[in-house]
Amino acid sequence: MILASPWWVNLLALIPIGSYLFWRNRKLALDKTTLIAGFIFGVAFGFVEAVVVIYLRATSGLLPLSYGTLAQAAIHAGGVQPVSQVLGSLPESLVAVERLREAATMVMLLSVAVLGVKSALGRVALFLWTFATWDIAYYAGLWLTIRWPASLGELDVLFLIPQPWISQVWFPLAVSGLTMVAVILARSPARN
């Protein structure tokens, strides 16, 4: 599976390019302090999200935690199953809670953007910056703790709202990384 599913998830690849083209002739006023604060929040929040996924897997019996370290648990479990396979194993009640958690995540990321910048353009940029940082930190947190994903080609469920979004891990990482580059390149040079 090279493309994401459903088909419209692939349109997310247009976000970095479209954002940069839209912002480049406008004065995107995001100072370094705001970007650093958004980055720190995104990294911390991304790690918290990774921990939530680990807990979800452990409570569902998909990651036995009786082996000391999480990396040892993953090895003894025969590797960590991708979330795309785990989703069918979860009770509907947990899937419903997961959807609510995802909605709360978006509210938190939006709140940071609203609190951090006054202009609408800046809020969109800060939201995308913090979202991208959060997304990259999420996968880094999973890899550092349970060594998943084993490769960037692993399938993952990106979101459940309104239906499961499935893609290889490289896709959200590429979109997030390019979005961060777009924000940095589009910043007004007058800002420090």
In this prediction, residue 91 has a pLDDT band, given cuts at 50, 70 and 90, of: confident
Average pLDDT over residues 114-120: 94
Average of per-residue pLDDT values in the chain: 87
Taking alpha carbons only, the member of 19, 184, 158, 4 closest to residue 82 is 158
Q: Could you tell me the pTM of the whole model?
A: 0.87
Can you state the angle between helices 120-146 and 14-23, rounded to 10 degrees? 150
* 11: DSSP letter: G
Q: Which structure tokens are listed for 133?
A: 């940082």
> Domain segments of the chain: what residues?
29-185
Taking alpha carbons only, the member of 12, 16, 13 closest to residue 184 is 16
Q: Tell me, what's the pLDDT at 192?
A: 44
Q: Tell me, what's the pLDDT at 61?
A: 72
User: pLDDT tens, 136-160?
Assistant: 999 999 999 888 898 999 999 999 9
User: pLDDT tens, 28-79?
Assistant: 889 999 999 999 999 999 999 999 988 887 777 777 665 555 656 555 545 5
- Could you tell me which residues come within 8 angstroms of residue 161 by beta carbon, excluding any fewer than 6 positions away? 99, 102, 103
Lowest mean pLDDT among 32-41, 80-89, 178-187: 80-89
Write the single-letter amino acid at 100.
L
Rounded CA gap, 74 and 155, in Å?
17
Q: Tell me, what's the pLDDT at 105?
A: 95
